[in-house]
Amino acid sequence: MLQYEFMRQAFIASTFIAITAGLVGVFVVSRNMSFLSHTLSEIGFAGASFGVLVGISPLAGMILFTIVSSIAVGGLSNESSRREASISAMSSLFIGLGILFLSLSSKSSSYATNILFGSIVGISSKEVQQLLALAIFVIIIFIIFYKPLAFDSFDHIGASASGLKTRLLSVIFLVTLALSVSIGAQIVGSLLVFVLLTLPGATAKYLAHSVPKMILVSVGLALSGVWLGLYLAFITNWPVTFFIATYEVIAYFIGLGYKNYKLNH
């Protein structure tokens, strides 16, 4: 399998994508922002479609839309009384915009398929380099702000009382989440990128009891999911997204069953 250059590039890109998604996903779950990763995936679809329309790379358009929108939508998350309706309205708007942008562009329908479902096996060397740079940037940001982000994510009240700049930390997290959505969409597409950003982290919560261990478990599940998905997609010619999503869902229910078993015994 690895004798083919496109598969080697796919494995390199997917490895960094999985590390980023697994790392960020732990904080997505702890901050109860799974809904936001889902919304950003739909916003990313509109951004990628906009990029196709105006002649820039879909990744650049996705990053532009998700970063701006993540901060705006993140502010709505504090208004619990109107949160669900506001998020649903924005999701609907951006899905509509994405479809409009694609219909106005001169590109073929294959572009829409790639945006929605990913195209990791057709990724170019330049795109791999871009993904690696973005993934490394996100990882560095988390290394720098790891302690305050972990404190704020798992004990927001305590972080506020101790004088941490929680608003600034929130903005930093939202920007890294937006970048992670844009990165992850390259392998599983904007339609299912939230799978990598939520399920490994949610499963890790059932299997580990400290932040470092949760990160290790989450990254491990994301890595094993994308590696197995690429291998099975290669030998079956089925979509890699199907295998990744199936693996992560099965792992989640196994983790949930383990948690329930431990509580009852």
pLDDT tens by residue, the chain, 265 residues? 888 888 888 888 889 889 999 999 999 999 888 877 878 888 888 888 888 888 888 888 888 988 888 777 666 555 555 556 667 777 788 888 888 888 888 765 566 666 666 666 667 788 788 888 989 999 999 999 999 999 999 998 898 899 888 888 888 998 898 888 888 887 777 767 888 999 999 999 999 989 999 999 999 999 999 999 999 989 998 888 889 999 999 999 999 999 998 888 7
Closest to 249 in 3D by CA, of 182, 188, 185, 208? 188
User: Which residues does 159 contact at the CB level (< 8 Å), separation at least 6?
Assistant: 148, 151, 152, 166, 169
- Homologous superfamily of 5-264 in CATH? ABC transporter involved in vitamin B12 uptake, BtuC (1.10.3470.10)
Distance CA 103, CA 151 (A): 45
Burial code (b: 16+ CB inside 10 Å, e: under 16) for 157-171 equals: eebeeeebebeebbe
Look at residue 117 in the predicted model and tell me its pLDDT: 66
Q: Which residues contact 77 (CB under 8 A, 6 or more apart)?
A: 33, 35, 36, 83, 87
pTM of the model: 0.86
- Lookup: tokens for 14: 């997917």
**pLDDT for 68:** 86
Determine which helix (DSSP H) or strand (DSSP E) holds 6, and give its type and residue range.
helix 5-30
pLDDT number for residue 85: 65
How far is CA 14 from its chain centroid?
A: 12
71 touches 171 (CB < 8 A): yes
Please give the pLDDT value at position 49: 87
